[in-house]
């Protein structure tokens, strides 16, 4: 193998490693936290369990990336945000309410079509989740690096969190 070929392979390997680490960097550091459940609970605005009852694009919710884009370009355009509605079953932190709309980073507009984020979670209709949500009561969100999980896979968190407060039966599923 000649020197030119070795350089090409070396440069290709460098870009491959750096590209892979660029996609994985957002969750780096979470494995070094001494008390990940406790920290996630402290940092979250709301912690609840619930079932996905609907999901779809909705207007009236903001997306930081889209707002920054409009600010930088000086353009005004309308967009929709993918919102997942949960029928809340139990609450450990935050307001006890029968349903919560969870905003994702997924958006849609006339100019760019659908825009997905690597930090988004793919929620399944009728699936039950333990949610660690962030933001304010009007617009809560979560991400792939949070401890949000399908409820049946969240045994460690549920054991640590305790029973939580049960929410009255919701008219959403009735």
User: What pLDDT is recorded for position 70?
Assistant: 87
Q: What angle do CA 118, 127, 35 make, to 5 degrees?
A: 60
Give the contacts of 144 (CB within 8 A, at least 6 positions apart): 26, 27, 118, 119, 120, 121
Residue-wise pLDDT for 100-123, tens only, equals 999 999 999 887 888 888 778 899
Which DSSP state fits 25?
G
Element (H, E) at 106: strand 99-109
Residue-wise pLDDT for 65-102, tens only, equals 888 888 998 888 899 999 999 999 999 999 999 999 99
Taking 60 as the threshold, does the pLDDT of residue 172 lie above it?
no
User: What pLDDT is recorded for position 47?
Assistant: 98
Alpha carbon 161 to its chain's center: 20
Domains belonging to the chain, first-starting first, are 33-162 (2.40.50.120)
User: What pLDDT is recorded for position 29?
Assistant: 57
Q: What is the spatial distance between Cα 151 and Cα 161, in angstroms, rounded to a whole number?
A: 13
User: What pLDDT is recorded for position 50?
Assistant: 98
User: What pLDDT is recorded for position 41?
Assistant: 97
Which tokens sit at 49? 């369990």
Residue-wise pLDDT for 21-57, tens only, equals 334 435 665 567 789 999 999 999 999 999 999 999 9
Closest CA to 92 of 173, 35, 159: 159
């Amino acid at each position: 193998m000649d020197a030119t070929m070795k350089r090409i392979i070396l440069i290709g390997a460098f870009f491959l490693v750096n590209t892979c680490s660029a996609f994985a960097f957002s969750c780096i550091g979470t494995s070094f936290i001494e008390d990940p459940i406790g920290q996630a609970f402290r940092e979250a605005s709301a912690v609840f369990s619930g079932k996905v009852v609907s999901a779809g694009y909705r207007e009236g919710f903001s997306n930081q990336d889209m707002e920054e884009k409009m600010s930088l370009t000086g353009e005004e355009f309308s967009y929709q945000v993918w919102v997942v509605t949960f029928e809340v079953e139990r609450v450990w932190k935050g307001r006890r309410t029968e349903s919560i709309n969870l905003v994702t980073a997924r958006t849609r507009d006339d100019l760019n079509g659908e825009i997905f984020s690597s930090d988004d979670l793919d929620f399944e209709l009728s699936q039950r989740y333990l949610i660690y949500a962030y933001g304010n009561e009007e617009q809560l969100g979560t991400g792939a690096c949070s401890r949000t999980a399908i409820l049946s896979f969240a045994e460690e968190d549920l054991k640590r969190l305790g029973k939580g407060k049960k929410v009255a039966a919701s008219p959403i599923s009735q």
